Amino acid sequence: MARWEPGARERLVVAAVDLFVDQGYDDTTVAQISERAGVTKSTFFRHFPDKRELLVAGQETLSSLLAEGIASAPAGASPLEAVAAGLERASSAMGPRNRDLGPRIRAAVAASNELQERDALKSVGMAAAMTAALEARGVPAIGARLASEMGVLAFKQGYARWSEGDRSDDDGLAPHAVATLEELRRAAATLG
């Protein structure tokens, strides 16, 4: 194994996802992940505290990007327009590798209660970041919370559509996430 090679973090994530899908989360060890990624266990632990954190590797970055997009929305933007700006900003960081990993990550999460719990915490973190950004714009707490929860759902559903959709669609994640947010807005309006 090489002492240091670029891309170790990304290789660890891909190796973990593949192993979680192939043999299950519980039956996969850090040693197996490290070996498949071509790194040492100590390199693994330089990047991640444990194997559970592999599937939420970009959570802090994603939450920051969502908040940055909301903060940079035009001054007169509605809460949902600001959330759409956050979705567009966060989507800009998602590339072909994210798209390819999507279905495999969902399969791994669906097969593990522990990963489902961690995924739920990721959603809570995303919503909290968006809520804080909206409140900083002067949106009342309840409205900020509702818009943020809709934003999380739009991101997740948009990501699922994008990652499982037509590969000739190279528009990126943003149109899928923003369109899903609009669908949610329309659906909420029908609830009476």
Residue 2 in this model has a pLDDT that exceeds 50: no
CA dist 44 and 159 (Å) reads 27
CATH code reported for the domain at 8-54: 1.10.10.60
The answer to whether the CB of 148 falls within 8 A of the CB of 131 is yes
Q: Where are the domains of the chain?
A: 8-54, 58-189
Amino acid (one-letter) located at 35: E
Burial class (CB in 10 A: 0-12, 13-18, 19+), 108: buried
For the chain, give the percent of residues with pLDDT over 90: 63
CATH 1.10.357.10 describes domain 58-189: yes
Give the lowest-confidence range in 72-76, 84-88, 162-166.
162-166
Output the pLDDT for position 164: 87
Q: How far is CA 95 from the centre of its chain?
A: 12
* Sequence-distant contacts of 70-73: CB under 8 A, at least 24 apart: 70/130, 70/133, 70/134, 70/137, 71/133, 71/136, 71/137, 73/137
What is the value of pTM for the model shown? 0.85
